[in-house]
C-alpha cells in the first residue's frame, strides 16, 4: 500500500467494468458484487450483457448495463455520463475489453489492425478520457485497472501474435505513465498482465491459431484471475500477473536489451 493511500474498502463502492459480459470482466463483476460493490457493466455483446446483468442483479447490488463499443470515443463519453447519473461516486475502473489480433504482421488487413488497436488500445484511452474523471472528482480512494497481457512484455516466437503484443505493450506503457501522473493522489493504478486465461477470446477470433486455442483452453480460470486482481488492489500493487511460463522469455529479452546498452561507448 502506498503511504499516501488509505485502503479502498469494498462495501458500498461502485465500479465500471468494460468487457464485462464474459471472461475476466464477468469474473471481476461477480467477485465485486460478492464484496458489496455496485456495478456499471459494459460490453458490445448485448445478449451476453443482459444475461450478466440479470445474474448480477440477483445478488442485490445495483447493476447498470449498457452496450458500449469502447473503440468509439463518443460511445464511451455517453456511457460515462449515464453511469455517473446512475451510480454516483465511482471508485473502481476496469478498462478490460479486448480482442484477439492473431496473424502474421504482413497478412493482417488494415481494418484488422485498426479494429485491434481501436479496442485494445483506444478502448483504454477512451476509458481514461471519460471514466477516470469520475474517479478523481470525489477526491477519495480509487483504483484504475487496465487489462494488458503477458504479451505486453514478451513476443512469443512460436505464435503469430506480434500485432496483439503491440497493443498490449502500449497498454503497459500507458499504465506506467498513468501511475507516474497519479502519484501523490488517492487514485492508484494497476495493470493486469495475465498469461493464458480460459476465456472465449480465441473462440471469437477468426485468426486464432491452434496453439493459441489450446493454450487458452488450458489457461487459468477467470475466477482465479479476479481474486488475484482484487488482492492486488488491496495492496495497491501496480503489476498484476497470473500463473505463466513467460519468466524465461522476459528475462532473455531484458538481458538482450541490457547487453545492447552495455555495448554503447561511454
The model's pLDDT over 247-266, given as tens digits with 9 standing for 90+, comes to 999 999 999 999 999 999 98
Asked, for residue 2, whether it belongs to a domain, the answer is no
Residue 142 has a pLDDT of: 98
Asked, for residue 81, whether it belongs to a domain, the answer is yes
| pLDDT by 10-residue block (mean), the chain, 266 residues | 72 97 97 98 98 98 98 98 97 97 95 98 98 97 97 88 96 98 97 88 66 70 96 96 90 96 95
Asked, for residue 4, whether it belongs to a domain, the answer is no
Asked, for residue 191, whether it belongs to a domain, the answer is yes
Residue 3 has a pLDDT of: 46
Cα angle, residue 79 at apex, residues 74 and 80 outer, rounded to 5°: 100
pTM for this model (two decimals): 0.93
For residue 248, the tally of other CB atoms under 10 A from its CB is 9
Q: How many domains does the chain have?
A: 1
Asked, for residue 7, whether it belongs to a domain, the answer is no
Backbone angles phi, psi at 143, to 5 degrees: -145, 135
Beta bridge partners of 189: 144
DSSP letter string, 141-193 = -EEEEEE--GGGT---TTS--HHHHHHHHHHHHHHHHHHHHTTTSSEEEEEEE
Tell me the residue length of the chain: 266
Q: Which residues are catalytic?
A: 164
Asked, for residue 165, whether it belongs to a domain, the answer is yes
Task: Tell the residue number behind the cell numbers 471472461, with chain if given.
Answer: 23
Adjacency order of strands within the sheet including 142-147: 63-67, 38-43, 14-18, 92-95, 142-147, 187-193, 239-241
Q: Could you list the residue range(s) of the whole structural domain that residue 114 is in? A: 14-262
Here the contacts of 161-164 (C-beta below 8 Å, separation 24 or greater) are 161/101, 161/102, 161/212, 162/104, 162/105, 163/101, 163/102, 163/103, 163/105, 163/108, 163/112, 163/113, 163/116, 164/100, 164/101, 164/102, 164/116, 164/120
Residue 146 has a pLDDT of: 98
Residue 219 has a pLDDT of: 74
CATH of the domain at 34: 3.40.50.720
Beta bridge partners of 38: 14
Residue 212 has a pLDDT of: 65
Asked, for residue 138, whether it belongs to a domain, the answer is yes
- 3-class state of residue 97 by DSSP: coil
Residue 1 has a pLDDT of: 44
Asked, for residue 148, whether it belongs to a domain, the answer is yes
Amino acid at each position: 500500500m502506498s503511504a499516501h493511500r488509505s485502503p479502498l474498502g469494498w462495501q458500498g463502492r461502485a465500479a465500471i467494468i468494460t468487457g464485462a459480459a464474459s471472461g475476466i470482466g464477468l469474473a471481476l463483476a461477480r467477485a465485486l458484487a460478492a464484496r458489496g460493490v455496485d456495478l456499471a457493466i459494459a460490453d458490445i455483446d448485448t445478449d451476453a450483457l443482459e444475461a450478466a446483468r440479470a445474474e448480477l442483479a440477483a445478488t442485490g447490488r445495483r447493476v447498470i448495463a449498457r452496450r458500449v463499443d469502447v473503440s468509439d470515443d463518443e460511445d464511451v463519453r455517453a456511457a460515462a455520463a449515464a453511469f455517473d447519473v446512475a451510480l454516483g461516486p465511482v471508485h473502481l475502473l476496469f478498462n478490460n475489453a479486448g480482442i484477439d489480433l492473431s496473424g502474421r504482421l504482413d497478412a493482417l488487413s488494415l481494418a484488422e489492425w485498426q479494429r485491434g488497436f481501436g479496442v485494445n488500445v483506444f478502448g483504454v484511452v477512451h476509458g481514461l478520457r471519460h471514466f477516470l474523471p469520475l474517479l478523481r472528482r470525489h477526491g477519495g480512494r480509487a483504483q484504475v485497472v487496465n487489462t494488458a497481457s503477458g504479451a505486453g512484455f514478451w513476443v512469443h516466437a512460436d505464435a503469430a501474435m506480434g500485432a496483439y503484443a503491440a497493443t498490449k505493450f502500449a497498454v503497459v506503457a500507458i499504465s506506467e505513465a498513468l501511475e507516474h501522473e497519479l502519484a501523490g493522489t488517492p487514485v492508484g493504478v494497476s495493470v493486469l498482465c495475465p498469461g493464458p486465461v480460459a476465456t472465449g477470446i480465441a473462440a471469437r477470433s477468426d485468426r486464432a491459431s491452434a496453439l493459441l486455442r489450446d493454450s487458452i483452453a488450458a489457461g487459468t480460470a477467470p475466477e482465479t484471475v479476479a481474486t488475484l486482481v482484487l488482492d492486488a488492489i488491496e495492496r495497491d500493487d501496480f503489476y498484476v500477473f497470473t500463473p505463466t511460463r513467460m519468466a524465461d522469455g522476459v528475462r532473455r529479452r531484458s538481458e538482450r536489451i541490457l547487453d545492447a546498452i552495455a555495448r554503447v561507448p561511454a
